[in-house]
A and B are shown apart, each in its own frame.
Chain A
């Protein structure tokens, strides 16, 4: 009896509600399709938001979490302003991506994921974004020659930023950042701890 009932119980929706930022909203979706139709990414989506929500309810855990789709979101907020049920779709997209990443299921080579990681490491290290290091790491993440090619393609933008003082070449050698970096790192470590305990995650690597 219980196993027969269990079979129909959708655990993945519950998992999303418990562990994904704004995940408790997913069940409010009425599948109208306005978010998907409004998204500027158009056909580039494998599964647009409304379809992802349907898949969550259908319990397609692996397909959802391993998907590239939610990593595509550019936070333009078109979907949120139009959603007739008021779902915070953008936030759910990022929540799903974050959760998949935390579980280690997210697609390793997804460029948004890699950029997000580089960006986070950059800012968490000193408390300020170091544009020079950030751009270099980003361009060279696929190897030296690809990096040169990318940097060359972007040279106009880069020079412009240099001229207007937005990119400081000395940033490469200077640590920079906020005064009490140690405090920041402690604070972040504590935040990780709280979140991991709440969501029952194992130790971070």
Chain B
């Protein structure tokens, strides 16, 4: 790969919705593009959502179209299990260090699943934030592209790995694969490395680490997915009882100097959306309460907010929750003051969902040579104005800011256009 990539190649790091979009836009304009994705499959965090606001469609639709476009494009090469760890150089002349983890499965794989049947060892499912176990020979998720199994490194060297190899009729299991590190030349780089949820255990008064029925918003998405850990049933983790009365705790770790100083922008809309999930599961019996500082349903999302506010099953309490306790039957009890009237409350719910903040998934200081790019106070990557007013490193989607899918895709298209200009300049030089 390092031989074929040139100073006119655009490297896209991260294969979520933003990275796929940026890579496709550039490749469809005739540029050579390499897309590297750390996980075993493309799709990023969107593939872990149950539904998307504002149209409430399943994440499949956008994903399938992008996969078709990728398959159809010969200028775009995709590396999975490939993580960018270092970047050095200047516009038109970058070298990226890519660490490739072994899949132990080659391209012969038909995703038949025989290896999984032959294996008994289990691992925490990365796709489900560890909420369930999966076999150590697994397909990352239903929509995974490439549709190819992974033999987890924990079994590759032992009997279980051998059993998987012996079960495969296509000679697809290769237990000798090792971790590799390659260097890749490129002319411009787009960081679409996305976000990760803020560690909820750090918000000590909310008891995420202590109470089973306090979950995060990203886990809640998995609970609703028909292919997820609960088969789409909304049940309490502690006792499997129906969670009909759900509290949403906004700004959990965002807008807070003790945690993330920025507003994560998406979580108000995400909780409005998730309150609809409760209604979907329990109809007239559903109850949702949103505890908020202010609801940030900006511009056209205001209609969405109005629609939820009109639903009598959804209650709004203007208050940042002060602390969460647990009662005898394991129900979370939320304490705080309703700032409309300064009334104290101690409200019991079946389940509390923390609307956790989004933070950048890569630490730019580790990846970049000093001064190679700039980040804002929260660590989101900002395009740097170089000598010619356009440096060669750009950020797209949630690597650049806390953005919803629509805005991520817009920023990805913009990043692709700017990267194209850089490699065009390199070609003329």
Partner-B contacts on A (CB < 8 A): 30-34, 36-38, 42-43, 47-48, 50-51, 81-86
CB<8 Å pairs between A and B, sample of 24: A31-B293, A32-B251, A32-B319, A33-B318, A33-B319, A33-B320, A33-B336, A34-B322, A34-B336, A36-B336, A36-B337, A36-B342, A37-B319, A37-B321, A37-B322, A37-B323, A38-B322, A47-B342, A82-B205, A84-B251, A84-B256, A84-B258, A84-B259, A84-B320
Partner of A30, one of B293, B337, B344: B293
Give the residue of A32, A42, A82 whose beta carbon is less than 8 angstroms from that of B344. A42
The chain A residue with its CB closest to the CB of B256 is A84
> Is the beta-carbon distance between B258 and A33 smaller than 8 angstroms?
no
Cα A33 to Cα B342 in complex, Å, equals 8
Is B255 engaged at the interface, CB distance under 8 Å to the other chain? Answer: yes
Docked-complex contact B336 and A51, CB < 8 angstroms? no
Find chain B residues with CB under 8 A from A82 CB.
Answer: 205, 258, 322
Report whether A32 and B205 are in contact in the complex, using a CB–CB cutoff of 8 Å: no
Please report the C-alpha to C-alpha distance between residue A84 and residue B335 in the assembled complex, in whole angstroms.
16
List chain A residues, Cβ under 8 A from B339. 31-33, 36, 50-51
B68 at the interface (CB under 8 A from A): no
Q: Does B257 contact A (CB under 8 A)?
A: yes
Known: A36-B336, A82-B258. 11 other contacts (CB 8 A): A30-B293, A31-B339, A32-B339, A33-B318, A33-B320, A34-B336, A37-B323, A37-B335, A37-B337, A43-B344, A48-B337
Q: CB of B183 within 8 A of chain A?
A: no
Residues from 193 to 249 in B contacting A, C-beta threshold 8 Å:
205
Give Cα A47–Cα B341 distance, bound, in whole angstroms.
Answer: 10
- Give the nearest-CB partner of B254 in chain A: A84
Tell me whether B325 is interfacial, beta carbon within 8 Å. no
Cα A33 to Cα B294 in complex, Å, equals 12
- What 3 pairs across the A-B complex have the smallest Cβ distances? A37-B322, A37-B336, A84-B256
- Pick the residue among B318, B320, B338, B344 that contacts A34 (CB under 8 A): B320
Chain B, Cβ-Cβ closest to A50: B339
Residue of B nearest to A37 (CB): B322
Specify the chain B residue showing the minimal Cβ separation from A47.
B342
Within 8 Å CB of A47, what residues of B? 342
Contacts of B342 on A, CB cut-off 8 Å? Answer: 36, 47-48, 50-51
From B257, B318, B319, B323, contact of A84 by CB (8 A): B257
- 12-48 of chain B: CB within 8 A of chain A: none
Q: How far is B337's CA from A33's CA once the two chains are assembled, in angstroms? A: 6
Chain A residues contacting B251 (CB-CB under 8 Å) are 32, 84
Min CB–CB distance B354 → chain A (angstroms): 14
Q: Mark B308-335, 1 if CB is under 8 A from A, else 0.
A: 0000000000111111000000000001
Query: A85 CA to B257 CA in the complex, in Å?
Result: 6
Residue in A83, A84, A85 with the greatest tally of chain B CB atoms within 10 Å: A84
Contact with A along B280-323 (1 / 0, CB 8 A): 00000000000001000000000000000000000000111111
Q: Which of A31, A33, A86 contacts B322 (CB 8 A)?
A: A33
* Min CB–CB distance A67 → chain B (angstroms): 13
Give CA–CA (A84, B339) in the complex, Å: 15
Expressed in whole angstroms, the Cα–Cα distance for A46 and B259 within the complex equals 30
Q: Are A84 and B255 neighbours in the complex by a CB distance under 8 Å?
A: yes
Complex interface: chain A residues within 8 A of B336 (CB) = 33-34, 36-37
Instruction: Tell me, in angstroms, the Cα distance from A47 to B322 when the chains sit together.
Output: 17
Residues of chain B contacted by A33 (CB below 8 angstroms): 318-320, 322, 336-339
List the B side residues contacting A38 at CB < 8 Å: 205, 322-323
Query: Which residues from chain A contact B257 at a C-beta distance below 8 Å?
Result: 83-86
Most buried by B among A32, A47, A85, A86: A32
Enumerate chain B residues within 8 angstroms of A48, measured Cβ to Cβ.
337, 342
A30–B320 alpha-carbon span in the complex (Å): 10
Chain A residue numbers with a CB within 8 Å of B338 are: 33
